[in-house]
A and B are shown apart, each in its own frame.
Chain A
Amino acid sequence: MSSSGRLVLGVVIIVAVLAGVYALLQSPETANGPAAPVAQEPVTIGFIGPLTGDAAAIGQNAKAAVELAVEEVNKAGGVAGRTLNVIYEDGQCTGKVASNAANKLINADNVPVILGGLCSGETASFAGAAEQAKRVVLSYCSSAPSITQAGDYIFRDYPSDLFQGAFGAKYVYEKLGKKKVAIVYVKSDWGSGIRQVFADEFKKLGGAIVAEEGYEQVARDLRTQLTKVKAAKPDLVYFLGYTEGSIVGVKQAAELKLGVPLFGADGWDDPKIWSGAGAAGEGAMYTVVSAPLSDAFKAALKAKVGSDEVGLCSAQAYDGLKLLAQVMAKAGTDGTAIKDELYKTEYAGGVSAAKIAFDANGDPVEANYAVKAVKDGKAVEQK
């Protein structure tokens, strides 16, 4: 026999043996019938949020809230009798990283649903891939207006910045009576999106935007941006930033003696900013999505994370998980079925809103905002 012939024979034998072993290993299950054990398999979904890097504080808190919701769902019998299981992936508030995480969840873990991402840049990075693979995405924190058009399978239970930017502009113009505003914004989907809406609405009301200065998310030196802002002599600075950049920026604004009030958006709803910025942050105000937050939820989350802190989107993450569990119990674990059911669902009694329902774009139908002001290093809701 020629050597190539021997090789072919060898390969054939190996394949045959492997096939035999495989069949033997498979047989007990087939003998029992496939239906029963499959139903007992856990339902696995994915979670994406920044667990390290910028915004990790918000991401870790949201993760804890999701873990809490998972425990409660499983204690109450799981999803139609099956255990609910979540795979947590780190998106680092960065498109590239989140996109890799989503690819892993979709292709390797084969999850029907991704709860996430947190940052708008995360969600935007994998919305296309999820849409193509017919997997549902439910973001619990992404507020960039562009997410509205991200696709049929893309939902969020957190309102679009279209609401928040307009609310902020109205509040600054009418309630605070400031007519000349400078904008400092982080260059991200979130920062750029909300800045646009704010500027448009503020001008429509009759106000003037005297400066618009952007900065990279990783920048820690905003002195020149703030120098330009100061030279423009605004009545107020509308500052859109994440935790780290905001601590630095708020401090540098004080160092440069800007001397005008600072007004921010929901990115500022992180106690770390106000403990980090200290005296420089006194009097700063920001808009935040107002959530009812039941006492039971607050107590349970406190038991989990060890502090009173309820992160920016933890309530939405918690409700998102519960909502998905409810939908999957009814529609099963097929992405398309879940999507169709989500559009029809109305979820009541949540901790993030009295009622969650989605419009034709997968956006929440309603949004409520409140304004918080920083006093003695703590953000207090304004009446």
Chain B
Amino acid sequence: MDIFAQLLANSVIAGALYTLITLGFNLIYGATKLINMAHGAVAASGGYIVFFLTQTWGWGMIPAVFAGVLGAGVLGAVLDWLIFAPLRRRKARPPVVFTASLGAFTVLQAFLAILFGAQFLALLPAEAADTVSVGGALITSVQLATMGLAALASVGFFLFLRFTTFGKVVRAISDDEEVAKMLGVNTDRIVRIVFFIGSAVAGLAGIMIGLDTGIQPTMGLFIIVEGVIPSIVGGIGNMAGGVIGALLLGFAENFGIWFIPSQWKGAIAFGLLTLFLIFRPQGIMGRK
């Protein structure tokens, strides 16, 4: 085995998962300026929906994945409708909204634990995964799919925000919500849709993590960390920056522990974050 090729693959696999999380996180941040802590729990919910549909209702994997993505999107929209929209209308200050999202995160996580138990669950049966060799690196089909979906989602988001009217409106809200409102934009409706899309992609991330390793109610916290760090590194709210940040984090972690002992892997992510906060707080691509 080519160790370099394998490390490259490991980095891209990790980067692809981080990308899926960051895309949705950044989209929601862009439109609402909210560090949405509930994002992690919404992603986990996507994984659990797939688990429920395949294990209890006997659905096939493909329809279950679609339902999981859709379900996570709806859950995000419902959270906005129940919690964030009323707070926006009341002009709640950012710390209040942040705390509310933390509350939503905790409730969702507890809910998952009550419904499904706290243990670690696999979405795929426990057979040895089928691996393919790509340029000397061993990659499973799930990991290949994750990379493909992350690339697809990144390009899709870019085209969507750049070339559709809806995308332009989202960017307008992101620039200045008050002005957009004055110009006749129904910001509440747009933000609701943004929550739906962002949460759906988060759900996809949760599902891919579940297919690759497994799901656990507490996974949401690591998902949110893996979403926030690339986002800040890339320039919070900046979609392209988020993707670059996600890949950078994947590479830094996996190549980093090639050189230093691997028990420092967790420290690398936060080291990277600290470096950026000190030397380039606006991130690679600048704040949106």
Contacts and interface: CB of A to CB of B under 8 A. Distances in A.
A255 B126 contact: no
A23 to B, nearest CB: 45
A280 B128 contact: yes
B77 to A, nearest CB: 28
Interface in A244-277: 244, 247-248, 251, 254-257, 272, 275-277
Interface of A: 52-53, 56-57, 187, 212-216, 218-221, 223-225, 227-228, 230-231, 243-244, 247-248, 251, 254-257, 272, 275-280
B55 to A, nearest CB: 14
A255 B120 contact: no
Given A221-B14, A228-B258, A279 B128 contact: yes
Contact of B126 (A53, A214, A225, A275): A275
Given A214-B263, A218-B222, A221-B213, A227 B6 contact: yes
Chain B interface size, as a band, is 35 or more
A151 to B, nearest CB: 28
Contact of A215 (B113, B118, B209, B262): B262
B213 A224 contact: no
A224 B266 CA distance: 13
Contacts of A247: 120, 122, 214
B58 to A, nearest CB: 20
B122 A276 contact: yes
Interface of B: 1, 3, 6-7, 10, 13-14, 113, 118-120, 122, 125-129, 131, 138, 140, 209, 213-214, 216, 218-219, 222, 253-254, 257-258, 261-263, 265-266
B83 to A, nearest CB: 25
Given A216-B265, A227-B7, 5 more contacts: A52-B113, A221-B10, A230-B1, A255-B138, A276-B122
Contacts of B118: 52-53, 56
Contact of A278 (B14, B113, B125, B131): B125
A279 B265 CA distance: 28
Contacts of B1: 227, 230-231, 256-257
Contacts of A251: 126, 128-129, 213
Contacts of B128: 251, 254-255, 278-280
Contact of B257 (A225, A256, A280): A225
A220 B213 contact: yes
Contacts of A224: 7, 10, 253-254, 257-258, 262, 265
Nearest to B14: A221
B214 A248 contact: yes
Contacts of A225: 257, 262, 265
Nearest to A90: B118
5 contacts: A214-B263, A215-B262, A243-B120, A276-B126, A278-B127
A272 B119 CA distance: 10
A222 to B, nearest CB: 9
A218 B269 CA distance: 14
A56 to B, nearest CB: 5
CB-CB nearest 5 A-B residue pairs: A278-B126, A214-B263, A244-B120, A52-B118, A279-B128
Nearest to A187: B263
A83 B219 CA distance: 41
Contacts of B3: 227-228, 230-231
